[in-house]
Amino acid sequence: MIMSTPALYLHKVERRFQEAGEPLEILRGAEFSLWAGQSVALVAPSGAGKSTLLHIAGLLERPDAGDVLVEGQCTRQMNDAARTALRRNSIGFVYQFHHLLPEFSALENIMLPQMIRGLTRAEAQGRAEQLLDYLGLKARGRHRPSELSGGEQQRVAIARAVANGPSVLLADEPTGNLDPKTADHVFAALTALVQATGLAALIATHNMDLAARMDRRVTLRGGLIVELA
């Protein structure tokens, strides 16, 4: 059921850069709503601004105009500390490369963001073990990233992204470095997690087969976010 307040709402967002002295407009009053429990595919050509959109939605960049609302909270007037706190507690990120810390085990990689947030080691470990079990990695928790396959590394990265119980998950080509079979397995784990937890997920991908399996598909066209059939 769609709730009245989106987990993520972009309101008339504008973003432009200077290129060779000329303004390059990436977003021109973009509007977008994402509700809890939804998975939305963001499909667009390279250079269209997918990463910029995800960075703005994830409060890593500020828009030039407009606002980003997370769980109904306007963020445009927030200072950096408030934005960081909201991002840490309410938004999870998954990238094309897993970015796991190599000196720590899979379990420890998932525990760290929870302990930074203030959970005890025991609490963080319990949550991390639950996530690894859910993602089929219970037996791999003590292994370091170099001892895991590419698909296992990315599933650990997904677990780390949701360890703090965010309401929004943003993923930038999360299966882009994987072979088709492994990509399908990782995607299935990701969508199952979205459905089980009620996450709102925006996933940038070039894989149209995977995009077709999500609840909605959007693209960037003329600086706007456009719904696809």
pLDDT of residue 24: 82
Q: What is the mean pLDDT of residues 97-126?
A: 92
What are the pLDDT digits (tens) for 162-221?
Answer: 998 899 999 988 887 788 888 888 888 888 888 888 899 999 988 888 899 899 999 999
How is the chain split into domains, by residue range?
A: 8-227
pLDDT of residue 31: 95
| Domain 8-227: CATH class, spelled out | alpha beta
**pLDDT grade for 73, boundaries at 50, 70 and 90:** very high
**pLDDT grade for 1, boundaries at 50, 70 and 90:** very low
Q: What is the mean pLDDT of the chain?
A: 89
How far apart, in whole angstroms, are the C-alpha atoms of residue 160 and residue 168? 13
Looking from the CA of 223 toward its CB, the CA atoms found within 13 Å total 13
Nearest to 156 by CA among 142, 167, 170, 176: 142
> Tokens for 78?
């927030």
pLDDT of residue 186: 83
**Residue matched to tokens 């928790």:** 141
Of the given ranges (18-22, 88-92, 127-131, 213-217), which has the lowest mean pLDDT?
18-22
pLDDT of residue 147: 96
pLDDT of residue 148: 94
**pLDDT grade for 79, boundaries at 50, 70 and 90:** very high
pLDDT of residue 6: 93
Q: Which stretches of the chain are DSSP H helices? A: 50-57, 80-90, 106-117, 121-134, 150-162, 180-197, 208-211
pLDDT of residue 195: 83
**pLDDT grade for 2, boundaries at 50, 70 and 90:** very low
Q: Would the pLDDT of 3 be above 60?
A: no
Q: Which residues contact 205 (CB under 8 A, 6 or more apart)?
A: 41, 42, 43, 173, 174, 175, 176, 211
Q: Which stretches of 135-216 are DSSP H helices? A: 150-162, 180-197, 208-211
> Tokens for 48?
């269209």
